[in-house]
Amino acid sequence: MVVTAFDMLLCLTLVWLAWYVLASRDPFRAVVLFISFGMLMALGWVRLRAPDLALAEAAIGSGLTGALFLSALRKIAGTTKEGRRLERDEEI
Amino acid sequence: MVNPGRKRLSPAHRPWPLLVLLLLFFVALVWVYLVPGSAPGGLARQVDASLAASGVRSRVTAVLLNFRGYDTLLECFILLLGVMVVWSQRSAVTTEPRQPAAGAILASLERLLLPLMILVAGYLLWAGSSQAGGAFQAGAILGGAGVLLLLDSSPFLGILPRKALVWGITLAPLFFLAVGVAALTLGRPFLTYRFQEASLVIVALEVAAAFSIGLCLATLFAGRLPGYQVGPSQGKPPAKRGE
């Protein structure tokens, strides 16, 4: 297994994204970052030669969980300050 | 997405202890991966040795559905439990219908993507016996197709008879359990297959699991129990059909 510069970049980007998901105060932004995190994580599994996990991560971890989060965000919109802002943003 | 109205992240709210934990975890993972000898060899050799007896050619599928079938059985039940928990939330609201304009775009997207998604799910299911793929991946794609339909506020889960939906969701766990119990009644340990029928049983299990997983995931996205009216009759259980 050769660790390429791309792998290094991928690892650092994953940690950086994970940090931004945790630190983000805007739930919508956190969800979008979480979805990107899942996509890059799937790439990471491919690099670790685990294509099964990569498929599952992309489809369930990123796609379906992201859709569930977005739908949950929509349902709680209006109950929080961020939610109200989210609703206004969608109207524009 | 450009959104100037959104507040900038304020450093005061950043969870610094989490960052430290994250970095420690990262260093540990890199250590385990890069330093030779720090991670044990794993069970790859054992899996390879008994792969010929498993009935499938993919190592992952052999582990998931044969060697560690018990774990997959429990995973199926966990998904079922998830749906039951969501359905028990009576006050959960359903996704409201979208604007007609979004509906038109979504509808054409659906026409393009849905057949392709079903095809890919079928391929992944079939490919699972020899290469990457399998029930969970195929089920996830089917679930994604269901979510796409639900986004268009297509009430396909509501149109389905309640009984068909419930049987569809419980198909994989029940079938899995039946296979396990059948082995018991034939005097073999729980969830073991005979070599001659292993391939057939695994493929049948995978088809059932993909179907149920797809339905479960779409149902999870739909939120509440289909057909249940939120309103004046709140708190009253929905009328059961066919009873």
Over the range B91-114, which residues count as b (16 or more CB within 10 Å of their CB) and which as e?
A: eeebeeeeeeeeeeebeeebeeee
* Size of the A and B interface in Cβ pairs below 8 Å: 79
Residues in a beta bridge with A80: A77
Instruction: Collect all residues of chain B within an 8 Å Cβ-Cβ radius of residue A74.
Output: 95
What is the rounded average pLDDT for all residues in chain B?
Answer: 78
Instruction: Collect all residues of chain A within an 8 Å Cβ-Cβ radius of residue B23.
Output: 15
Q: How much of chain B, in percent, has pLDDT values that exceed 90?
A: 22
* Beta-carbon separation of A64 and B6 below 8 A: no
Rounded CA-CA distance A56/B64 in Å is 13
* Beta-carbon separation of A85 and B6 below 8 A: yes
Residues in a beta bridge with A77: A80
Q: Hey, is B161 helix, strand or coil? A: coil
Q: Which residues numbered 5-64 in A keep a CB inside 8 Å of some CB on B?
A: 11, 15, 18-19, 22-26, 29, 32, 51-52, 54-56, 59-60, 63-64
* Beta-carbon separation of A89 and B5 below 8 A: yes
Whole-number pLDDT of residue B107: 82
pLDDT bucket at B172, cuts 50 / 70 / 90: very high
B232 burial class (0-12, 13-18, 19+ CB within 10 angstroms)?
Answer: exposed
Instruction: Collect all residues of chain B within an 8 Å Cβ-Cβ radius of residue A60.
Output: 136, 140, 143, 217
Instruction: Collect all residues of chain B within an 8 Å Cβ-Cβ radius of residue A71.
Output: 95, 221, 223
Whole-number pLDDT of residue B116: 94
Taking CA–CA distances from B127, the nearest residue in chain A reads: A52
Over the range A45-70, which residues count as b (16 or more CB within 10 Å of their CB) and which as e?
A: bbbeebbbbbbbbbbbbbbbbbbbbe
Q: Rounded mean pLDDT of B193-219? A: 89
The three-point CA angle B59-A43-B61 to 5° equals: 15
Instruction: Collect all residues of chain B within an 8 Å Cβ-Cβ radius of residue A75.
Output: 92-93, 95, 223
CB atoms within 10 A of CB B158: 14
Distances (CA, A) of B80 to B73, B103, B170: 11, 31, 7
Whole-number pLDDT of residue B241: 42
A83 CB near a chain B CB, below 8 Å?
Answer: no
Whole-number pLDDT of residue A25: 84
CB within 8 A of A46, min separation 6: which ones? A54
pTM over 0.80: no
pLDDT digits (tens, 9 = 90+) for B94-135: 555 444 556 678 888 888 999 999 999 999 998 888 887 888
The three-point CA angle B191-B194-B195 to 5° equals: 125
Q: Hey, is A77 helix, strand or coil? A: strand
* Beta-carbon separation of A68 and B221 below 8 A: yes
Span of B82-96, B153-167, B169-183 with lowest mean pLDDT: B82-96
